[in-house]
Amino acid sequence: MEKILITGGNGLVGKAIKKVVGENSNYYFSKSSDADLTDFKQCNELFQKIKPTKVIHLAANVGGLFKNMNHKVEMFEKNILINFNVVKCSHIFGVQKLIGCLSTCIFPDKIPYPINEEMLHKGPPHASNDTYSYAKRMLQIQCKAYNEQFNNNFICVIPTNIYGPNDNFNLKDSHVIPGLIHKCYLAKKNKQKFIVSGTGKPLRQFIFSEDLARIIIWILENPININSIIISPDIEAEISIKKIAELIAIEFNYLDFLEYDITQSDGQYKKTANNTKLKNLYGDLNLVNIEIGIKKTIKWFIDNYDLCRK
């Protein structure tokens, strides 16, 4: 019988996968309290308990610009250990397919756009998230090494910026959409200005968490054997942080109070990704429109404000 272990099963993408697969007893959604994956012994014991035939590896130490810039050692060391242990245990326990999750933010800073899978190691990442990026790049290197030496089927998916219900809305550690949603919510509640850090000019591609979950499950269930694949909307869907902030402010009916703090860092200007490889395999992606996705995320945040991560 198939047994699929999802590390980081209590996070944004893990919860989205749970919604996609429903009440399926073949899926085991592990959380941090089940095992400290930075500890090989605990990771090994988790694999011994579950005996997975497939693994979706989502667990990571993640955060937004502030966390990446101010906690570089933790971002590097914890992610290196987590990835090393999960991949090694997947090999030891004969896992048939492992899907590890990277991010387009780990690509080189100075590189021609749009980026594709072959460009991952073509230069250093942006200084604002360099240690996280290098740790995540090593996951791809480790998976590729096992594929080449032992003929494993370890695949790295590389999504663009993920957002949706069950995200982390912490004002310091969150990514851009959940952070702005929480900031706008508090600004309106306290009758203050909705201040966005930076100029709002940087461009990003965003993918709704349930879309990513659906595509990951498709890769898991189909006979696909590739080293890495970018999961992103089309290039035309790239959108500025300014536009994202405006969509959020409009949803809260608070646009007139939106301002930008241009003394704050913008981070990397753009990370435009090419999804040709994915579309050649999958076909029409049929992704949730950003306006609809933001509406759904804000509704979930308000409905679950007392319980959500913030």
pLDDT of residue 21: 94
Q: In a 3-state reduction of DSSP, which class is residue 134?
A: helix
132 labelled catalytic: yes
Active-site annotation holder among 132, 146, 185, 282: 132
Give CA–CA dist 295/269, Å, rounded: 25
pLDDT of residue 66: 65
Give CA–CA dist 223/219, Å, rounded: 8
Closest CA to 135 of 227, 205, 41, 38: 38
pLDDT digits (tens, 9 = 90+) for 108-121: 988 999 999 999 99
Low-confidence ranges of the chain (pLDDT < 70): 63-66, 68-69
Q: Could you tell me the domains of the chain?
A: 4-167+204-237+271-288 (3.40.50.720)
Give CA–CA dist 65/69, Å, rounded: 6
pLDDT of residue 45: 98
CA angle centred on 109, ends 209 and 266, rounded to 5°: 70
pLDDT of residue 175: 86
Cβ contacts of residue 40 below 8 Å, gap of 6+?
A: 84, 85, 88, 89
The reply to whether the predicted model has a pTM over 0.75 is: yes
pLDDT of residue 65: 63
pLDDT of residue 126: 87
Integer angstrom CA distances of residue 123 from 72, 111, 112, 309: 19, 8, 11, 34
